[in-house]
Structures are given as C-alpha cells and as structure tokens.
Chain A
C-alpha cells in the first residue's frame, strides 16, 4: 500500500494497520532527511497549513511546525489565547475564516472531544487532530509505537503498561488503539480513581500494583498527572502518589529484566519518574521527541498527497 485509507487523521481508531505501517515506512525516510546537513525537502512548497491550538501546547505545536517547515509548507500558527475566540467567535467561523485565506490543511488541538471530527465534516480541508480533550492524540500514539519499533525491533507481541492518569489522557486512549492494532498487549496502572470505569471493555487489564506491572511489561509509558484537568481530588496527596506510582532507579534496578521507559512530556520530575530515570539509559524520551518530527512529516506528507492541486 502506498496511500492512506483516510483523508484526515482524526484518531487512531479510524486507521487501518496498513496505514500505520505506511506512516512508519515514510517516517523512516524522513528520519534520514532530518539527519542530513540540510534537513529540508521541497515536497509541500505549494501547501499552506494552519496550526490552530485552542489549548496550550509546547512540544506538539513546535513539532508540527518544524515538520511542516522541513517539508517546505507555508505555515500559519494561531493560539486561542490571542484570538477572536475570546470575543465569542464559533469554531466553524474561526476555521472558515482561516480557510478563506486558502489554507489546505488544518492541525487542531481543542479541549472538547470530537472537535476535530466535527470540523472534518464541516470544512473542506484536510484535518489533523493534535489532541481533542480526553479523546485522542493520534500523532503521539504513532510516535510512541514508532519509538518502540525502533528500540525493540517490532511492536507486535510486546507488552506495554501505561501508568498514571488514564482517565484524563488522550495519549493513553490513542496508544491503546495503536498498540492493540499492531498486536501488542496493553495494561494500565494507576490509582483506581484515575482509571476509566469501562477500560476493560477495550481489552485492557488493570494492574493496581506498579511493581507487578513493571515486572510484566517490556515498555512502561509514564503519564503525567494532569493537574489542570483534576476538578476534584483523585488521590490523597502527591507524596502518596509518588510512593505508589512513581518510578525511580532503585525500583528499575530491582526488576528481573530491563524495560524501556517512555514519557509523552511534559515531565513532572520527581512525581511520575525521577530525573535519574528520565535521563537514564532506560529512557527513550528524547528519541520520542526526535521521532515526533519524522512521524508528523510522514502524516502531513501522506495526507497532502491526497489533496488535489
């Protein structure tokens, strides 16, 4: 297969396994490109992309912008904080105004689940979901799987545990879909209050003991406690959370095998993982960031190739 089966990247659940493999193969080529002395290709020189972020982002926004610039696309970026959204403009009006300026593709992050899906039905542009509420964050899941493939050779047959705030995490949901689609086994681990009630209906086992979860897995994906989304208290104290669900070097050393530590960032150092672990040999956190650019280049390139000139 040399073409994606979709016109938008709204979520992993709308993709087929072949789509993921095509994205990975294309990302392999782009990873070579971004390690050249001149890291740019002219493929998208006639494409304009708008990055519309209704929610804060550092890594994802920078990574998307860099990916677009490495492909020679024209880029306009927009943050809701400095926009007319504050004056009461609707989502469709905002986006249609941007599209009236002849934009071909929109990368959007929004606080509401389904926002990207809604937009894809309403406007004529290719939409990439850069995170919609607690729903999906497909490019993060793709780069996570790509990093596992890079470190361990394959995703199929691997055991991955996602630790932390699963309830508020779009990264967790997209990762579960992506990993299962590629034949990996997924478990989640965290305080009961931060595990969604029906998670087992996705074929995901819940493990409440961190040590057992780490003994079981090949890869641990550590998630941040999303304090900004915690409307009530989900656990007694950060100190207690660290004691039960924080990963430190001593815990890793006491395991019977070596595991890979991942984190989508931003890290709360000393909470979900210690600095020693984050910067240590088990960690692939900075590889994830590098792979993020290559994966986003691949997604943008493949979606752009379906746009008619």
Chain B
C-alpha cells in the first residue's frame, strides 16, 4: 500500500476558510440554515466548519446536527461486511429550512442519495445543498454534484482518498492511498 499527500495541514486550513466564507456568502446569518454532518466521517468536517464560523467569522447561531444513513443505504445485504450504524443527533426540525449536507469525500453519490431520503424523516427542507472537502471526479453512479467543494481529485477506482483530522488521526491532511 502506498500513499501520496494531496493536501497538507496549511492547504486544508486555507480550504476550510474558503468553504466557511462561501457558506456565509450564501446563508449570511444562518437564520434559516442548518448544517448536517454525515456520519461517520462528515462529522469532523462539519464540526470544524462550525468552529470556524463561530470563532473566526462571528456567526454564532449555527444549528449543527449529525445524520447517520446506515438504515437508508441501498447496499444492505449486498456489501461484504455488515453495516455498522452511528448516532443520529438532530435536535431540531428541518421543515422549511435550508439544509447543507457536509461530508469529507464525494465518491459514487450513493451516500448522498441515502441522506436525501433520510433527512425527510426530520421534515421537508426548503432546499438541500452539498458541501464536500474532496470531490472525486469521474466516479459518480448518480447525478449528484457538490455545491461547495474543497478540492477536485482524479482517482481511479482502486484508489482511496483518506481524509485525516487532527482530533481523530493526529494531523490535518488528505492522502491518496493505492491499494495493493
């Protein structure tokens, strides 16, 4: 297994600031906007962006939730390994709110498809946007594209894009990992 560094900590931080600014451009005070981190890995990105928006940009009234899509996935009984669920934590209704899904890597689009169904359990959003740190080009199975993207990456199918976070893996970085 070999891995190539795609983004170092400085580059990740610059991108996070840009994404935060783009969110402010479109949602200003976030009065009618909720951020939803997709479990398990989108949670860290969502928390980081929320911290940035609050501390560096003074947007305090941010509603952040975490959505687990395990029970909505279309590969139940079809994937080789059992699906493990994570905690869903959404303490507000999304009825008539602008929802921003936040995930680390956009690959086939199937997770986002599941998330679009799952979020309906919490009400009917007025609109849904998608923010991803990494957008893997040419790998989509469904017509789903991000509204905010950190970096576009070309990777072939047996390569994996690994996003590392300081609070989880001890560093902020993005690697392209080649499976043997």
- Please report A residues at the B interface, Cβ cutoff 8 Å: 2-3, 26, 29, 32-33, 36-44, 71, 301, 304-305, 307-309
Q: A41-B72, A43-B76 are in contact. Are A36 and B121 (CB under 8 A)?
A: yes
A contact residues around B86 at 8 Å (CB): 29
A263–B42 Cα distance when bound, in Å, is 42
A-B residue pairs in contact (CB < 8 Å), sample of 17 = A3-B82, A29-B68, A29-B70, A29-B88, A36-B121, A37-B93, A38-B121, A38-B122, A40-B121, A41-B72, A41-B118, A42-B71, A42-B72, A42-B117, A307-B77, A309-B77, A309-B78
A308–B86 Cα distance when bound, in Å, is 23
A2–B81 Cα distance when bound, in Å, is 9
Which of A33, A41, A308 sits near B77, CB closer than 8 Å? A308
Q: A2-B82, A305-B82, A309-B78 are in contact. Are A38 and B120 (CB under 8 A)?
A: yes
A301–B122 Cα distance when bound, in Å, is 22
A33–B72 Cα distance when bound, in Å, is 11
A279–B51 Cα distance when bound, in Å, is 46
A38–B121 Cα distance when bound, in Å, is 4
A148–B100 Cα distance when bound, in Å, is 38
Chain B residue nearest in CB terms to A104: B77
A26–B77 Cα distance when bound, in Å, is 16
Chain B residue nearest in CB terms to A4: B82
B contact residues around A43 at 8 Å (CB): 71-73, 76
- Please report B residues at the A interface, Cβ cutoff 8 Å: 68, 70-73, 76-78, 81-88, 93, 117-118, 120-123
Whether B88 pairs with A305 at a CB distance below 8 angstroms is no
A contact residues around B122 at 8 Å (CB): 36-38
Nearest chain A CB to B71 CB, angstrom units: 4
Q: A2-B84, A32-B88, A41-B71 are in contact. Are A305 and B121 (CB under 8 A)?
A: no
A38–B122 Cα distance when bound, in Å, is 7
List 5 extra interface pairs beyond A32-B88, A38-B122, A42-B117, CB under 8 A.
A33-B88, A36-B121, A39-B121, A42-B72, A305-B76
A contact residues around B68 at 8 Å (CB): 29
Nearest chain B CB to A46 CB, angstrom units: 8
B contact residues around A44 at 8 Å (CB): 76
Nearest chain B CB to A36 CB, angstrom units: 5
A20–B122 Cα distance when bound, in Å, is 30
A contact residues around B87 at 8 Å (CB): 29, 32
Whether B121 pairs with A37 at a CB distance below 8 angstroms is yes
A3–B120 Cα distance when bound, in Å, is 28
Whether A305 pairs with B77 at a CB distance below 8 angstroms is yes
Nearest chain A CB to B34 CB, angstrom units: 15
Q: Give 5 nearest A-B pairs by CB, closest first.
A: A41-B71, A38-B121, A29-B85, A2-B82, A36-B121
